[in-house]
Chain A
């Protein structure tokens, strides 16, 4: 009996030691991951100078950077950028969700001539760097006069969104066909089935699509910078914030950059954390087999 207790005790000890080690590792990881953001927030309140400095916590705390961010708009117009990005992402989100859901539903549920060919075509088209389409679209839009214009940017984002059908299609595939058939027996047309039967069941993937298509324009540097060549007022936040960090602007704008970064990050982070359940469901449900 004593043998057993001793064995149990030593096993427990080993378990506790491993757990403690794991806890230490996790704490270190959390600290390392969070320090940059702490730095960002702390720096955004710095009052004594506006360039990059070598210490973390400000000597003078002030709201000045935030105020200047919103009011000082002659050269670097942050409120304008924010508005631009907001508009672009809202419009893109609506259009893109419609396109992606329509395409993935069709490819998942309906069988028609050319379906396999279409999927292969989109697979191959997806292998071209998106950049190539962008340059060509830039030329096309220049002829129509839509460059340097938010509508042009929305067009670029939305243009190839049909190719993002893969994850949604995977999700739709997991909804059993028997539902479709039952509805058909009751006399529903495909249109009704889509709107009234399948969509309500697909809430996670709908939210996932809306979330990802809303968040994408916020972080896009490549397309936005090429579309709005030189027109500072039409930048989105990514291009604008990077503009604050160029060699000429850095000494004057660094703290303002931190303030701007905080202003951009908080709503997005909140939105993401609120909807993260759908994001995880989307990624694990549609993107991953089994």
Chain B
């Protein structure tokens, strides 16, 4: 359909067209997706092949220095003028070997079994009492195994780099090019290789404190680490996909069905909450921003400062305060009762349904100033000639709002909306500080009426030490967020292709 014909339709016709088109295009889009898969494998295959090729070159075409580097890392570099790098490679190899021999091998070997015996009571003749002697600690075994695996992967990568560099150096020497020496290397660290200097500490932190913990937790999701299996006094074991089966289908373990039921309910509420929290704040914030920004309204700064106060005061203070004001004998109930509006206190935070509404409303109170601030900043940036030309063409204020302001807003703030939506899925503070995830529901496994996935995770860890289930939920949250992000990302890319507004 030509662009002109599309634009000529009314809003409703456009919607029908888009709707039908989406489903018409679906098989085509899917076919495209599946067509791309073999290409992806081809690319992957090429990458892997190049790695092996590199090693082969080093073995077949390398001179004696390169071949020695197979065993002694850094050998080639040392003898070709890159003293510092050579020493660093060699040092790394030595450290790795020492680590594996004295430490890593022990734990890696036990990774499959996660320990044979946890502890034993032993009679201590000197002190005359029974003492506990600890043997295998499942958690430490898993932890150190993960560490060791990372170390091994790092070693393989560095060894490969070592060979590759040797190949390059050898070729450079053969052609007669000058090899950058140690002094050149150090100087370039402040220049071409500055990224290595700047990124070294952040990346170290990232790997040690983010990647390794996440991998460790992913492994824990496949064990049965909970209160009944608590190192150092007990062992825990691999249970494969049992935890996942429990929470998604229910029925493998004793508590399985309860977990599955709780999970479904909590997931549903988390999604509903995220949608409401994000969009109420957005729309109402936009309305307030436009009210304040309207021509003819004075004291603009005053109104904005009043609302900014809510942002300036730390949100946990506001939330804790609200939790008291809305309690059964808090001030809001007391005032309403003294005015005679209600006979009994409204259970703002203790009735499951009312609590859900309360939480959304309080979130509006806290969140509108944020959105208002941002939208005001954007509103001021809309080029005014758009409005001028519209007015010349005879558009009224309502039409200008729907055709200029709204589309511009939407386009510019889509990334913000996505990140806020994802952030609200994980919005721990608002729910926990306000209601504590209450009211605790009998049919749920350690969860309440307003619990999000993240607060449920917290409770499982804090109150029940059910780490394995908590890890499973963490992984599922990740999957939810990843799926949503992928869908929105792809859709916004597709929209960009036929973007009418520039």
Contact = CB atoms under 8 A, between A and B. Distances in A.
B209 A133 contact: yes
Given A26-B292, A132-B217, A37 B309 contact: yes
Interface in B294-308: 294, 296-297, 303, 305-308
Interface in B270-329: 288, 291-292, 294, 296-297, 303, 305-318, 320-325, 327, 329
Contacts of A189: 190-191, 194
Contact of A162 (B205, B305, B481): B205
Contact of B310 (A33, A53, A241): A33
B191 A190 contact: yes
Contact of B373 (A136, A245, A283, A289): A283
A265 B369 CA distance: 17
A128 B214 contact: yes
Interface string B396-418: 00000000000000011111100
A226 B308 CA distance: 31
A69 to B, nearest CB: 14
A222 B428 contact: yes
Given A26-B292, A265-B314, A140 B202 contact: no
Give the size category of B's interface with A: 35 or more
A259 to B, nearest CB: 12
B199 A219 contact: no
A29 B307 CA distance: 9
A122 B207 CA distance: 11
Interface stretch (A74-82, A201-209, A266-274): A266-274
Contacts of B307: 29-30, 33
A99 B429 CA distance: 25
A190 B374 CA distance: 34
A25 B287 CA distance: 11
A106 B194 CA distance: 8
B462 interface: yes
Given A55-B335, A254-B324, 6 more contacts: A143-B140, A221-B428, A238-B316, A265-B314, A276-B312, A283-B377
12 contacts: A26-B291, A36-B325, A54-B337, A106-B198, A122-B206, A129-B477, A135-B461, A136-B217, A162-B205, A238-B314, A265-B312, A281-B377
Interface of A: 15, 19, 22-23, 25-26, 29-30, 32-34, 36-37, 39-40, 52-56, 99, 102-103, 105-106, 110, 112, 122, 124-125, 127-137, 139-140, 143, 155-156, 158-163, 189-192, 194, 215, 218-219, 221-222, 225-226, 238, 241-242, 245, 254, 257-258, 261, 264-265, 268-270, 272-273, 276, 279-281, 283-284, 287-290
Contacts of B317: 40, 241, 261, 264-265
Task: Kindly list the 3 A-B residue pairs having the minimum CB-CB distance in the complex, ordered from nearest.
Answer: A54-B334, A159-B209, A136-B213
B122 interface: no
A135 B314 contact: no
Contact of A137 (B213, B310, B428, B461): B213
Interface string B203-229: 101101111111011001000000000
A127 to B, nearest CB: 5
Nearest to B502: A290
A184 to B, nearest CB: 9
B321 A162 contact: no
Given A103-B199, A163-B206, A124 B310 contact: no
Contacts of A139: 139, 143, 216
Nearest to A54: B334
A54 B329 contact: yes
B478 A127 contact: yes
A40 B321 contact: yes
B40 to A, nearest CB: 14
B375 to A, nearest CB: 9
B23 to A, nearest CB: 29
